[in-house]
């Protein structure tokens, strides 16, 4: 039997935390509850969860600060929980490295669906699979760059680049369709699909983070097509010899 995925619940409202725990336990997840930011950071290192459900409004260190600290040492999947529905709050969370954002009050089925979706996207980096030569490997390569969606790995100029699942999926999708322009709506629908209801600025945030990790290359780069969207622009480097 596969080990249960471990979910860390961080919420200072005991009633909400207990309710979330009840929903997750019914889905056979292993859970742990903490009620403040400092305890959350300690639990991430001791409990070693597969995913964190993190409330933004916490006493002392708030959820944004906790998220920022976790991202200094881990790409652990994190879903923010908040009663704040402003676009600014969502974008800030995504810029800091959140993988999803759930508004309170939330429907239990939606919450479970989002948790499962994020775990599915991250699962390849946390499991050991027996190689199967009959199964296709989803991988694209360009000069200095390799993006492997099968094992969720990225290599840039010979170095491994750690990336949250959503960033990697967006990068892979664009790179697997070189020189094709996609609108923000198309990218939002393809990468986030049914499990995410978000603003198109979500795409802009992720593109910004990708550009910070991958400066423009002589053969390829992420290009903005003004008024439309984005594309992975690629052209062969011709030798003068």
Mean pLDDT of 213-241: 83
Query: What does the pLDDT look like over 87-146, one tens digit per residue?
Result: 777 778 877 888 888 888 888 888 998 898 888 777 644 333 444 444 456 889 999 999
| Alpha-carbon distances, residue 197 vs 35, 59, 115, 155, 218 (angstroms) | 27, 28, 14, 31, 36
- Percent of the chain exceeding pLDDT 90 equals 44
What CA–CA distance (Å, rounded) separates 95 from 106?
Answer: 22
Strand bridging mode 6-10 / 51-55? parallel
pLDDT at position 230: 94
CATH code given to domain 139-234: 1.10.10.10
Instruction: Label residue 229 exposed, middle or buried (CB < 10 Å: 0-12, 13-18, 19+).
Output: buried
The answer on pLDDT for 16 being more than 80 is yes
**May I ask the CATH class of domain 6-126?**
alpha beta
Query: What does the pLDDT look like over 75-99, one tens digit per residue?
Result: 889 999 988 766 777 778 877 888 8
Q: Is the peptide bond before 130 cis (omega within 30 degrees of 0)?
A: no
Phi, psi of 53 (to 5 degrees): -100, 110
The answer on pLDDT for 44 being more than 90 is yes
pLDDT at position 136: 56
Mean pLDDT of 167-174: 91
pLDDT at position 233: 93
pTM of the model: 0.61
**Domain ranges, ordered by start, for the chain:** 6-126, 139-234
What CA–CA distance (Å, rounded) separates 202 from 206?
Answer: 6
Instruction: Label residue 184 exposed, middle or buried (CB < 10 Å: 0-12, 13-18, 19+).
Output: middle
């Amino acid at each position: 039997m596969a080990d249960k995925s471990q979910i860390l619940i961080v919420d200072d409202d005991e009633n909400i935390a207990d309710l979330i725990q009840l929903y997750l336990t019914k889905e056979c997840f292993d859970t742990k509850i903490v009620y403040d930011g400092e305890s959350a950071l300690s639990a991430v290192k001791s409990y070693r969860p597969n995913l964190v459900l993190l409330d933004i409004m916490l006493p002392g260190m708030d959820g944004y600060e906790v998220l920022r600290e976790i991202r200094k040492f881990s790409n652990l999947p994190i879903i923010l929980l908040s009663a704040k529905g402003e676009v600014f709050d969502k974008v800030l969370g995504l810029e800091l490295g959140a993988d999803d954002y759930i508004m309170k009050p939330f429907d239990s089925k939606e919450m479970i669906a989002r948790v499962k979706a994020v775990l599915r996207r991250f699962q390849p980096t946390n499991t050991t699979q027996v190689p199967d030569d009959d199964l296709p490997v989803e991988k694209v390569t360009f000069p200095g760059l390799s993006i492997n969606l099968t094992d969720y790995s990225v290599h840039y100029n010979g170095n491994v680049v750690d990336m949250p699942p959503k960033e990697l999926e967006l990068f892979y999708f664009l790179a697997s369709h070189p020189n094709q322009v996609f609108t923000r709506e198309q990218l939002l629908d393809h990468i986030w699909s049914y499990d995410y209801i978000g603003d198109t600025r979500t795409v802009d945030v992720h593109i910004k983070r990708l550009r910070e990790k991958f400066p423009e290359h002589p053969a390829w780069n992420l290009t903005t097509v003004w008024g439309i969207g984005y594309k992975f622009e690629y052209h062969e480097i011709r030798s003068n010899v």
